[in-house]
């Protein structure tokens, strides 16, 4: 067996669970993902991605947590109840302005 070392990190529980759920669907263990990340760091001589603030992007329904989905549903109901509704054209304009799409 190769000479190995343990890596320990403290990670937010919700983040860990979400990431491990995705890794499981991909058939990758958390150790395998860390191994791949370390390999990429060595290959790139740094992090294998740009560090920058993310742009606002709409969340895909499947990527939302139950709490995020519940929050969005409540916001939608509150909008309807307060008569804050818009046409499809107005909504497209909002998306274009907020998300740059």
Which position has the higher pLDDT, 75 or 42?
A: 42
Looking at the fold, whether 68 and 57 belong to one and the same domain comes out as yes
Q: Whole-prediction pTM value?
A: 0.50
Can you give the pLDDT at residue 59? 67
| Domain identity same for 27 and 58 | no
- The number of distinct structural domains making up the chain is 2
- Of 52, 68, 93, the one marking the end of a domain is 52
- Tell me, yes or no, whether 41 and 61 share the same domain: no
The domain of 101 spans 53-101
Based on the domain organization, do 42 and 81 belong to the same domain?
no
Query: The domain that contains 34 carries what CATH number?
Result: 1.10.1220.10
Are residues 60 and 19 located together in one domain of the fold?
Answer: no
| Residue in 62, 71, 78, 77 with CA at minimum distance from that of residue 21 | 62
What are the pLDDT digits (tens) for 8-66? 999 999 999 999 999 999 999 999 999 999 999 999 999 998 887 766 666 677 788 88
E strands along the chain, which residues?
none
What pLDDT, on the 0 to 100 scale, is given for residue 88?
84
Q: Which residue has the tokens 């990758």?
A: 28
């Amino acid at each position: 067996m190769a000479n190995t070392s343990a890596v320990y990190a403290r990670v937010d529980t919700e983040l860990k669970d979400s990431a491990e759920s995705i890794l499981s669907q991909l058939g990758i263990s958390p150790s395998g993902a860390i191994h791949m990340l370390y390999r990429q760091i060595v290959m790139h001589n740094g992090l294998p991605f740009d560090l920058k603030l993310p742009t606002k992007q709409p969340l895909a329904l499947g990527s939302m947590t139950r709490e995020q989905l519940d929050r969005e549903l409540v916001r939608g109901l509150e909008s309807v109840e307060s008569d804050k509704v818009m046409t499809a054209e107005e909504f497209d304009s909002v998306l274009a302005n907020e998300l740059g799409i």
